[in-house]
Structure 1
Amino acid sequence: MELAEYKNIYRNEGSHFFYVSTHYLIEKLVKKFSRGRRLMILDAGCGTGLLAKKLARLGKVSAIDCSSEAIKFAGKNGVNARRGSINKLPYNNNHFDLITCVDVIYHSRVNDVAALGEMRRVLKSGGVLILRVPANKYLVSAHDVHVHTARRYGKDELKRKLRLAGFRVRCISFVHLPIFPISLFRVIWERLTHRVAASSIRKINPVLNSILAVVLKLEAEMISRGVIMPLGQGLIAVATPNRQSNPGQKMQ
């Protein structure tokens, strides 16, 4: 991800409807699967660290990112993140109860199946992975260039890669259905006019931002209760380690 985009996200993620609703959904799912227990949690690809900061209310959180810039911004959020790659996680087998990975494995520097395999390795046998990825290849926009997107996923493709990595998919749903038409219009507009916006993450009218946040949080409530969205801007998956798969050799 470009440095300017880290700065942009750090400035806006506390109030921007996209991050507010995404973090709300992740927290709802973590609470659902924690059943009141305090968990050992890994935020894999923590970025600027705000999600990890929020998850600290629910357990002991470790955070990791490959970017030194991300580590600096995470520090500003009070998160002591570790620098490292999700392609080879620096943790022992069966270490975490739960892993969150939000908009990370799509990145050009990530081998998605290998990274998922590493998450499988460091999860306990009864652990849970909560994974979010961008969806639908036809939604590729200028923003994808700024965040170094290598791939957007289809639902079947994501299921297949999770299974290849040794996971059993418990549920998978599209997310951000209400803003899907906006995203599609933006992509069409960019292609027709050749006018490129610097980023999708920027301040918008506060009233509109509040309305979108409320609408998307309602969607998050529905998804957390098992409602499957038929279309959307992204995909959210909940998966558990397949007991028949081999988590690999223990790291020294």
Structure 2
Amino acid sequence: MKRCLACDTLYPVSDVACPACRWQPVLENGLPAYAPALSAESLGFKASHFAELAALEAGNFWFEARNRLIVWALRRYASGFDSFLEVGCGTGYVLTAVAEAFPRAHVAGSEIFSAGLSFAASRLPRATFMQMDARTIPFSGEFGAIGLFDVLEHIVEDETVLDQVHTALRPGGHLLLTVPQHQWLWSATDDYACHVRRYAAADLHAKVRAAGFSIVRSTSFVSMLLPLMMLSRLSRRSGDAEASGAELSVAPWLNRMLGAAMVVEARMIRACVDFPVGGSRFLIARKT
């Protein structure tokens, strides 16, 4: 069901306007915009980053490893879902992988920035896209699975977002999320990415449970590469933030080596190894 952001009435997704108050989202570039005042820029991210991401993601060891992990987790822990919403879909790189792996599922993507949606829509024409603020999700009990992949750390009101995701999921639906981990890894790279925080596992788990979820699986990843990541971050603690945006731009030979390490790590995660530390944390939770 859709949830009216003006009067909180629930109504069918097929309806354009709220039947109670007639409120409806405006259209931006042909897509519904539920928070148009925020579509150009906000404090949590820079819209100019989308072009950089679109050029970097395909073939990059980190983005490819994360995609494989997400698709595997959906198959392993959320099999049978028929609808998937990615909150903060960026350029659509993750959503495209999900759509290819689950062709029978209806996939939708939201992004607060209209600039990101243009990249995503060009990558995946069959998906449903919308401009939306994750703090006010206009759905209730609608989706079988929802993903937030390196999104939550950009938002001050992360607990509000988790509450909204819980509402938008069907009973028994699954939340999948990735976040950067360990505040002691904070560097100029995080400043450049407009992060609000890096998470501790205990803090993330507490917030997810408080929103009404039960945790199905939680593990660190980018664990085998953590020593290299620590060296990279230490060198950037007081460096130029703009230069830190190039952290994932690596030489082809190094990209292959790092990718091989991530493949080994993924095999261990699939074999039920949970890493206690790592550059990122991956969590799967169920709406209870």
Q: Same fold (TM over 0.5)?
A: yes
Is the Cα contact below 8 Å between 2:146 and 2:174 reproduced in 1? yes
Q: Name the CA distance, whole Å, in 1 between partners of 2:57 and 2:185.
A: 21
- Confirm or deny: 8 A CA contact 2:177 2:283 kept in the other structure: yes
**2:259: which partner in 1?**
213
Pair 1:200–1:159, CA change in 2 (3 A): farther
Tell me if the contact between 1:38 and 1:60 (Cα under 8 Å) persists in the aligned partners: no
Counterpart in the other structure of 2:18? none
Contact between 2:189 and 2:233, CA under 8 Å: does it hold in 1?
A: no
Taking the aligned partners of 1:72 and 1:201, their CA distance within structure 2 comes to 25
Question: Does the aligned pair in 2 maintain the 1:5–1:146 contact within 8 Å?
Answer: no
Shift of 1:218: 2.5
8 Å contact kept, 1:25–1:221: no
Residue-by-residue CA offset, 1:92-138 (whole Å, 9 max, x unaligned): x2211111110001114x51111011111111111111111110011
Structure 1 residue aligned with 2:177:
131
Aligned to 2:85: 42
Residue number in structure 2 paired with 1:88? 136
2:62 to 3, 15, 18: 18
Q: Distance in 1 between matches of 2:234 and 2:285?
A: 34
| 2:148 corresponds to | 101
SS at 2:203 equivalent: helix
Q: Would the aligned equivalents of 1:2 and 1:146 in 2 still touch at CA under 8 Å?
A: no
Give the distance between the partners of 1:121 and 1:181, measured in 2 at CA: 39
Q: How many residues align?
A: 238
1:56 matches 2:102: no
**What TM-score results when the alignment is normalised by the length of structure 2?**
0.78
For 1:117 and 1:195, the matched residues in 2 are separated by: 36
Identity %: 25
Highest RCO, 1 vs 2 (Cα 8 Å, sep ≥ 6): 1
- Secondary structure at 1:190 match in 2: coil
Letter in 2 for 1:97: G
2:69 partner letter: L
Distance 1:34 1:168, change over 3 A: closer
**Does 1:28 pair with 2:72?**
yes
Which runs of 5 or more residues in structure 1 are unaligned? 243-252
Q: How does 1:52-201 map to 2 (within 5 A)?
A: 52-57=95-100, 58=102, 59-79=105-125, 80-91=128-139, 93-108=140-155, 110-191=156-237, 194-196=239-241, 197-201=243-247
TM-score, normalised via structure 1 length = 0.88
Q: Compare CA radii of gyration and give the structure with the larger one.
A: 2
Aligned CA RMSD, in angstroms, stands at 1.7
Cα distance in 2 for partners of 1:195, 1:65 equals 28
**Residue segments in structure 2 that go unaligned for 5+ positions in a row:** 1-44
Higher helix share: 1
Q: Which amino acid aligns with 2:233?
A: V
The question of 1:234 aligning with 2:280 is answered yes
> Where does residue 248 of structure 1 map in the other structure?
none
